[in-house]
Chain A
Amino acid sequence: MEPRTRSFYVLSVFFALFLVFLYGPTLTIAILSFQGPQGGLTFPMRGVSLHWFVDLFEEQAVGDIWGAFRRSFMLGLMVMVTTVVVSVMGGLAFRKKFAGNQFLFQLVIASLVIPSILVSLGVGLIFSQSGLGVHWATSGFGSQLTWTLPFGLLIMFAVFNRFDPAYEEAARDQGATAWQTLWHVVLPMIAPMLIGVALFGFTLSYDEFARTLMTAGSYNTLPLEIYGMTTNVTTPVIFALGTLTTVFSFVVIGSALLAFWLMGRKRAKLGSDAGRGV
């Protein structure tokens, strides 16, 4: 191996600074959320306490954040399941090179680049003008899908571009039906990547603000609730909430990575039975 050049060390420092830039502010509010009861929004720390975390459980201090959390969690799960199912179906569809696939692909990309406030405004207008009424589980759910589905589909494109059709041909040669091929061959093979799609579906929905702003109706999701707090809450309780929801996000991301890793390990342990006959 060649020796490290000077640029390696310079870039290492640059990368380290980038990580500090990325995580520093979040760590700062994590520390500040343990402010003493007299403490403010900035340093210095006036003692260390769990005061602001306790405040989160008192309705008068923070409003209905637990209701908002429950709604965001439910919505995240709904969006996650829908994103996984629709993306897999979409990914399979695009392998067929059907007439009009280019148009649909452009629509998916459009969904990604159209400013979220337009989706929010448009969906909000349709639901309110048609008399359906806006609700997080209907209009909010739909407008979030326009953000999560493109990510899910792009992942599926990447997956299927690398998928060897020989596996399906082999299954077909042995007499498997299209369904059996999908269920016993394709899906198990792409399962680890589906964890990624699910992670995108849940977290993007859980944190979405702009697309839910005009489509959530009278019951706020958590990001809307937090945004509301920024205008009228001037105590570290907002840092405590921020810390808690970031920890929650980390738990979600960690579980996804763990599941991905466990699947890989299980697969490595089982190994391949190629050539061993049936």
Chain B
Amino acid sequence: MKAMSDTTKGWLLASPLTLILVVFLIAPIVMIAVVSFWTATEWSIVPAFSLENYQFLFGSDVTYRVFFNTFKYAAITWAITLVIGFTVAWYLAFHIRSLPVQIALFLLCTIPFWTSNIIRMISWIPFLGRNGLANNMLISMGVVDEPVEWLLYSDFSVILAFVHLYTLFMVVPIFNTMMRIDRSLLEAARDAGASGFQILTNVVLPLTKPGIMIGSIFVITLVMGDFITVRFMSGSQSANVGRLISNDIALLQYPSAAATAVVLLVTVLITIGILLRLVDIRKEL
């Protein structure tokens, strides 16, 4: 048998993967880009070359406000998940000394990832609602006299849900990089007289940067592309770009949805491009 070159073998093995990504990732993106130049009537979409969708998009105040809102959600969620994720990973990696306990606690943090996001969102209702647990607790403790209205269906609940859903995307990569830090480095720092806080900022934090970057990419893209959490947790009162798209879809305005989608995609890719300059993902696995 004639020996195949590594490139032929490689592409043969990778052909199912490539095929799936071409058909279900590249082609759809191309389709969206094409349709974003089409026009729509009330009941159908018409092939054309028109810039009207983009003109409308960039000419509208709503667009800028909604994009600002999207960045706001992403930034706040990123900051909170980073602090919580780093602290949890730090605790698991450096304060738990037995490996089985470490694995068990780590699993405990990741299990919710394999359950339904929608159910996890719904499960906040009895907690945050007007007559929910949080309000009952606040009233009985005498903190407030009347139920707090902004707990549910507000920016607060949207961000709470984001943090609840996505913190583990921070915990996992940060924990992963922390576990590979050579413990003797910490010892050396301690011997050299570093305080716990100095070890954290001068040794662990720089070495954990790749994990932080990967977690950040996950959280930021998930939040920026989201539409369901914002819709559900804000009670349709707040909007982000994803909701703009899904509203157009609901009205069968596909060309306009596609134009917004293109702008969202470009925004996300630029953000990721900047983050990826700072880390080589493949080395970190």
Residues of A within 8 A of B (CB): 1, 5, 7-8, 11-12, 14-15, 18-19, 21-26, 28-29, 32, 41-43, 85-87, 89-90, 92-94, 96-101, 104-105, 107-119, 121-123, 125-126, 129, 142-143, 145-146, 149, 153-154, 157-158, 161, 199-200, 203-204, 206-207, 209-210, 213-214, 223, 226-227, 230, 238-239, 242, 245-246, 249-250, 252-253, 257
Are A125 and B13 in touch, CB under 8 angstroms? Answer: no
Beyond A26-B123, A115-B242, A157-B285, 19 additional pairs, beta carbon < 8 A: A1-B97, A11-B87, A11-B90, A14-B88, A15-B88, A32-B126, A93-B13, A94-B14, A100-B11, A113-B269, A114-B29, A114-B225, A118-B264, A146-B20, A154-B285, A206-B116, A209-B228, A242-B123, A253-B111
Q: Which of A5, A21, A93, A245 contacts B11 (CB 8 A)?
A: A93
Chain B hits for A97, CB < 8 A:
6, 10
Interface residues of B in 159-193 (CB under 8 A from A): 164, 167
Are A113 and B217 in touch, CB under 8 angstroms? Answer: yes
When chains A and B are docked, how far (Å) is the Cα of A23 from the Cα of B113? 11
Which residue of chain A is the closest to B111 with respect to CB atoms?
A: A253
18 inter-chain pairs at a CB distance below 8 angstroms, sorted by A residue, are A18-B109, A19-B108, A26-B119, A29-B126, A43-B136, A85-B16, A96-B6, A99-B7, A107-B18, A107-B21, A113-B217, A115-B226, A115-B265, A126-B27, A129-B31, A143-B24, A200-B114, A207-B114
**B62 within 8 Å of A (CB atoms):** no
Chain B 106-133 near chain A by CB (<8 Å), digits 1 or 0: 0111011011111110111111010111
Q: How near does chain A come to B33, taking the closest CB pair, in angstroms?
A: 9
Q: How near does chain A come to B211, taking the closest CB pair, in angstroms?
A: 13
Which residue of chain A is the closest to B92 with respect to CB atoms?
A: A15
Chain A hits for B224, CB < 8 A:
115
With A11-B91, A118-B264, A252-B114 as known contacts, state yes or no: A18 contacts B84, CB within 8 Å. Answer: yes
With A86-B16, A115-B221, A117-B246 as known contacts, state yes or no: A209 contacts B29, CB within 8 Å. Answer: no
Which residue of chain B is the closest to A92 with respect to CB atoms?
A: B13
Chain A hits for B28, CB < 8 A:
118-119, 121-123, 125-126, 143
Q: How near does chain A come to B167, taking the closest CB pair, in angstroms?
A: 8
Which residue of chain A is the closest to B115 with respect to CB atoms?
A: A249
Main secondary structure of the interface of B (DSSP, over half): helix
Are A250 and B25 in touch, CB under 8 angstroms? Answer: no
When chains A and B are docked, how far (Å) is the Cα of A164 from the Cα of B194? 38
When chains A and B are docked, how far (Å) is the Cα of A87 from the Cα of B16? 9
Number of interface residues, chain B, beta carbon within 8 A? 84
**B272 within 8 Å of A (CB atoms):** yes
5 closest A-B pairs by CB:
A122-B28, A115-B225, A98-B10, A93-B13, A25-B123
Which residue of chain B is the closest to A99 with respect to CB atoms?
A: B7
Q: How near does chain A come to B200, taking the closest CB pair, in angstroms?
A: 10
Q: Which of A101, A122, A157, A238 contacts B32 (CB 8 A)?
A: A122
Are A98 and B227 in touch, CB under 8 angstroms? Answer: no
When chains A and B are docked, how far (Å) is the Cα of A109 from the Cα of B21? 11
Q: Which of B17, B120, B122, B221 contacts A149 (CB 8 A)?
A: B17
Instruction: Choose, from B53-61, B201-209, B254-262, the stretch at the interface.
Output: B254-262
With A117-B246, A126-B31, A210-B228 as known contacts, state yes or no: A246 contacts B14, CB within 8 Å. Answer: no
Chain B hits for A96, CB < 8 A:
6-7, 9-10, 13
Are A105 and B282 in touch, CB under 8 angstroms? Answer: yes
When chains A and B are docked, how far (Å) is the Cα of A237 from the Cα of B47? 45
**B105 within 8 Å of A (CB atoms):** yes
Are B25 and A107 in touch, CB under 8 angstroms? Answer: yes
Are A111 and B196 in touch, CB under 8 angstroms? Answer: no
Chain A hits for B112, CB < 8 A:
22-23, 26
Are B21 and A111 in touch, CB under 8 angstroms? Answer: yes
**B2 within 8 Å of A (CB atoms):** no
Q: How near does chain A come to B128, taking the closest CB pair, in angstroms?
A: 9
With A93-B13, A126-B27 as known contacts, state yes or no: A114 contacts B265, CB within 8 Å. Answer: yes
When chains A and B are docked, how far (Å) is the Cα of A28 from the Cα of B125? 10
Chain B 224-255 near chain A by CB (<8 Å), digits 1 or 0: 11111000100000000010011001000010
